[in-house]
Amino acid sequence: MALKIKKGDQVIVTTGRDKGKTGEVTKVMPKESKVIVQGINMVKRHTKPSQASAGGIVSKEAPIHVSNVAHIDPKSGKATRVCFKVNDGRKVRVAVKSGEAIDK
């Protein structure tokens, strides 16, 4: 299944404990239909010390399902759905609310 969200997109969380927070997508996992958003869905992991890092309690982002995030409209800054349109022979992602192109 092709996702309409890509790495580097600005998204807003629509459900869960981080509802209303915004962030940038740092990783996309299309097989699991999940994304990792910077600063969202933070969890604590207890890690053993290694040569690379000291041990202790480390905070990191956990994956969040794509159905729980939405694109941010470039014009209004609110959540929007995404559709595809062909523009000058190129397939571009377009925000449904404003009609503004998301791809540069």
Note whether 11 and 67 are within 8 A (CB).
no
Mean pLDDT throughout 82-103?
89
pLDDT digits (tens, 9 = 90+) for 2-55: 789 999 999 999 999 999 999 999 999 999 999 999 999 999 999 999 999 888
- What is the arithmetic mean of pLDDT over 50-69? 93
Note the pTM of the prediction, 2 decimals: 0.84
| Structural domains in the chain, sorted by start | 1-72 (2.30.30.30), 73-104 (no CATH)
Are the beta carbons of 25 and 40 closer than 8 angstroms?
no
| Phi and psi at residue 96, to the nearest 5° | -70, -40
Q: Output Rg (C-alpha) for the chain, integer angstroms.
A: 16
Q: What is the mean pLDDT of residues 63-74?
A: 94
